Amino acid sequence: MACEVNQLAPFLGPNTTDAVAAATYICSQFSDVSNKLIDTGYAIDSTYLLFSAYLVFSMQLGFAMLCAGSVRAKNTMNIMLTNVLDAAAGGIFYYLFGFAFAWGGPSNGFIGRHFFGLKEIPSTSFDYSNFLYQWAFAIAAAGITSGSIAERTQFAAYLIYSSFLTGFVYPVVSHWFWAPDGWASPTNSNLLFGSGVIDFAGSGVVHMVGGIAGFYGALIEGPRIGRFDHAGRSVALRGHSASLVVLGTFLLWFGWYGFNPGSFNKILVTYGTSGGYYGQWSAVGRTAVTTTLAGCTAALTTLFGKRILSGHWNVTDVCNGLLGGFAAITAGCSVVEPWAAIICGFVAALVLIGCNKLAEIFKYDDPLEAAQLHGGCGAWGIIFTALFAKGSYVDQVYGKPGRPHGLFMGGGGKLLAAHIIQILVIFGWVTATMGPLFYILHKFKLLRISSEDEMAGMDLTRHGGFAYYHDEELKHGTQMRKIEPTSSS
């Protein structure tokens, strides 16, 4: 609201004793109201972002339960502890370095250079709520990787890779595609192919990074003992609790409503003229709907697809299919129609089934199918967005009318070209950083536990006892013994 004394005073009339003083008083009241409305806007947007951050952080509990249920009982304490440390170590390293590398502008297109240790925060660009939200994303990427290398990885390796991933590898990628200065960001003035990359909530930035990192960790370590028999046939090493898998899946589903809709960062934004029923709050709702439909479609497609292939109705497979649909829709959730989200989820389920078949053929062992799910379905989500992004939604969300949008929606091929480049550079960056890290850890015998530890279970040999006890064990006590590693195989 703008109120000018020299414009208001003449309207008060000739009978006003002091028109200027009266106009000054009235304008001051308007200024107070205007400032209160500005304060309210900041408070609403900050509260929305904080609530979204809490939802995304709740996904850590979902990851922990999903991981715990997907491994054998003898490694339950180990995998849950690693999930706790992903959040704890990630918090410190993202505070010291990660947030600065990701968002520290003004900077170059490759990496940020301000806000180390949150210096100069809050500012006109970022508040503490932005840090909390982005930290929750960073530790989600680390949690994805921990699932791929479960049941056979030394504890020190978890700490090293998690700190490196959250403090450097992931922040650099998020700077490229999300920060205003990033070379492929849709908010950069020098747009890649005139469009930049539309990876709204991170099918590539989060899911591909975590999935590819996990792929290299599991590949360098090799499969778990007994995962493939002497003839090379696949042997199922099933997780010990389908109940925990389902619990974790529902918690992740709940948290995804902060992951995707929360990525708007603000909710009090009008589209066009103020006073209407349609604004960013509607786009937030649409994003939640597309997220839901993609996950539901992927779950049902996986249910019937696996029934045809295996002859069973498998709840664990359905849960993974559901999460694959969520990982795929994450890139385009804000810029596609609900009907397109159904296509996204359907194809994501097929991608996941196909990736799992390839993993068996090449004797690749990932206890949580994390590399296949997050890497494969995340890559499909990036391609999907380049095909189905709607022009009007892209203009509203990113604020520049006439931008390139989905190929199948009449937007040309520029966005698709940008997204293919995104897939290639993410794969190359994670390969060049996490691949050598895991290889060095392997060479120094810091990556894989000994065969004795693996057979006994890390809960017994590394963490002082099992996560579960039978009544007789509780009655008579259980004697624990420490098995020292004797080899790296």
Instruction: Read off the CATH number of the domain in which 364 is found.
Output: 1.10.3430.10
The residue range of the domain holding 394 is 40-118+129-464
- Number of structural domains in the chain: 1
Residue listed under structure tokens 């520029």: 414
Nearest to 60 by CA among 252, 241, 246: 252
Both tokens assigned to 162: 């998690």
Q: Is residue 17 part of a domain?
A: no
Q: Is residue 29 part of a domain?
A: no
DSSP, collapsed to helix, strand or coil, labels residue 153 as strand
CA 195 to chain centre: 22
The whole-number pLDDT of residue 474 equals: 47
The whole-number pLDDT of residue 484 equals: 47
Listing DSSP states for 243-272 in one string gives HHHHHHHHHHHHHHHHHSGGGG-----BSS
The whole-number pLDDT of residue 11 equals: 64
Phi, psi of 243 (to 5 degrees): -65, -45
CA 199 to chain centre: 11
Nearest to 135 by CA among 123, 149, 118: 118
Q: Is residue 475 part of a domain?
A: no
* Adjacent-strand bridge partners of 325: none
Across the 489 residues of the chain, what is the mean pLDDT of every consecutive 10-residue run? 68 67 76 84 95 97 96 94 93 96 93 94 91 97 94 93 96 97 90 92 97 97 92 89 97 97 94 83 97 98 94 94 98 97 98 96 94 97 98 91 92 95 98 97 94 91 80 50 47
Q: Is residue 419 part of a domain?
A: yes
* Adjacent-strand bridge partners of 153: 448
Element (H, E) at 139: helix 128-148
Phi, psi of 54 (to 5 degrees): -65, -40
Q: Please list the alpha-helical segments (H only) found in 389-469.
A: 391-398, 414-443, 451-456, 458-462
pTM of the full structure: 0.91
d(C-alpha 185, C-alpha 175), whole Å:
8
Nearest to 97 by CA among 112, 79, 107: 112
Q: Is residue 14 part of a domain?
A: no
d(C-alpha 221, C-alpha 422), whole Å:
27
